[in-house]
């Protein structure tokens, strides 16, 4: 009977396992500790290949507007990863001084860098996940994207990997031989905490776990620990899927009626439905600073 009970539990966990895809923002050729930009990029790609998954890469043109950057994009394209639009200049659309006209022009400015790649698709992700600080700006950019046949590259699971990586890089700049195990542990725990938060929020708002898109960045942290991150999620019963599959979930067709507009699509739907206790911004380094300070990270 004990064996049967264990098998039943394993079956239930498998059936109910949340699915997730890797989506990565801001490929770049910046100088960072430990690896050259080419080595850092190759380490990320090698881990994705090991995991046998196809991610989505959202390109901000200003970070790859060079021969080295073009080669980086070609390497991702050659590996079959989805390539999306993340504007050219990575502007903050909720800035009251930034007009729709300036922003929409910047969306199109990146296309010459990516439109001829085999795996480019018209899928757009807002920098900082901010999509309008007024109803007018929100609706104008939505209309613009539709008229240019763009789909939304929403995030379901938002997080602050960029902040953890920034602190890791600063530590290594001071001491290249510093012990970085604590950053790995913090990263895995942080991402799992945010994943369970957004998954539980989704179940409350839409009644199910969507095919999740996890937001992470093209940085040193993921050159080091991306494989560990995925294995951590899989150890909790979650299933890794390709980004193209994830973006077929109906949640990515939603247009929440919120102002300011943006954040995780799960967060925005919760806000639209009167969700209480939603912090704003939903994710930011400010929420991690005190915890990392106490840990000496």
Residue 13 pLDDT: 40
CA–CA distances in Å: residue 275 to residues 24, 128, 296: 28, 21, 35
In a domain, 236, yes or no: yes
The arithmetic mean of pLDDT across residues 201-221, rounded, is 98
**What CATH number is attached to the domain comprising 289?**
3.20.20.370
* Structure token pair of residue 132: 């309008």
Residue 4 domain flag: no
Task: Of 210, 152, 236, give the one whose Cα is nearest residue 19.
Answer: 210
Residues recorded for the chain: 297
End-to-end CA separation in angstroms for the chain: 48
Tens digits of per-residue pLDDT, 53-107?
999 999 999 999 999 999 999 999 999 999 999 999 999 999 999 999 999 999 9
- Global pTM reads 0.94
If we measure between CA atoms, which residue out of 265, 270, 267, 263 comes closest to residue 284? 263
User: Which residue intervals of 18-147 are DSSP H helices?
Assistant: 37-50, 67-78, 100-109, 111-114, 135-147
pLDDT band at 7, cuts 50/70/90? very low
Our count of domains for the chain comes to 1
Cβ burial of 172 (10 Å; 0-12, 13-18, 19+) is middle
Q: Please, are residues 53 and 46 in contact by the beta-carbon 8 Å criterion?
A: no
Range of the domain at 108: 18-295
238: left (phi over 0), alpha (psi -120 to 50) or beta: beta
H runs (alpha helix) in 131-219:
135-147, 161-174, 181-205
């Amino acid at each position: 009977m004990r064996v049967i009970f264990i098998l039943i539990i394993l079956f239930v966990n498998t059936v109910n396992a949340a699915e997730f895809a890797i989506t990565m923002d801001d490929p770049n050729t910046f100088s960072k500790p430990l690896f050259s930009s080419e080595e850092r990029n190759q380490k990320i790609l090698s881990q994705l290949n090991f995991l046998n998954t196809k991610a989505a890469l959202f390109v901000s043109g200003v970070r790859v507007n060079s021969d080295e950057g073009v080669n980086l994009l070609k390497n991702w394209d050659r590996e079959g990863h989805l390539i999306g639009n993340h504007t050219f200049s990575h502007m903050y659309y909720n800035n009251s001084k930034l007009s729709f006209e300036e922003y929409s022009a910047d969306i199109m400015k990146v296309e010459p860098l990516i439109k001829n790649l085999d795996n480019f698709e018209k899928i757009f992700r807002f920098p900082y996940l901010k999509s309008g600080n007024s109803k007018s700006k929100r609706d104008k950019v939505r209309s613009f994207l539709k008229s240019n046949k763009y789909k939304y590259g929403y995030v379901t699971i938002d997080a602050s990997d960029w902040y953890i990586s920034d602190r890791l890089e600063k530590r290594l700049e001071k001491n290249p031989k510093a012990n970085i195990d604590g950053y790995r542990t913090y990263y895995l725990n942080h991402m799992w905490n945010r994943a369970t938060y957004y998954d539980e929020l989704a179940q409350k708002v839409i009644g199910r776990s969507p095919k999740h898109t996890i937001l992470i960045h093209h940085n040193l942290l993921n050159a080091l620990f991306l494989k560990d991150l995925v294995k951590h999620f899989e150890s909790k019963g979650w299933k890794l899927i390709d980004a193209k599959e994830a973006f077929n979930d109906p949640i990515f067709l939603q247009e929440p009626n919120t102002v300011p507009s943006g954040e995780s699509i799960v967060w925005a739907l919760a806000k639209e439905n009167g969700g209480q206790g939603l912090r704003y911004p939903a994710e930011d380094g400010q929420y991690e600073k005190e915890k990392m300070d106490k840990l000496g990270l």
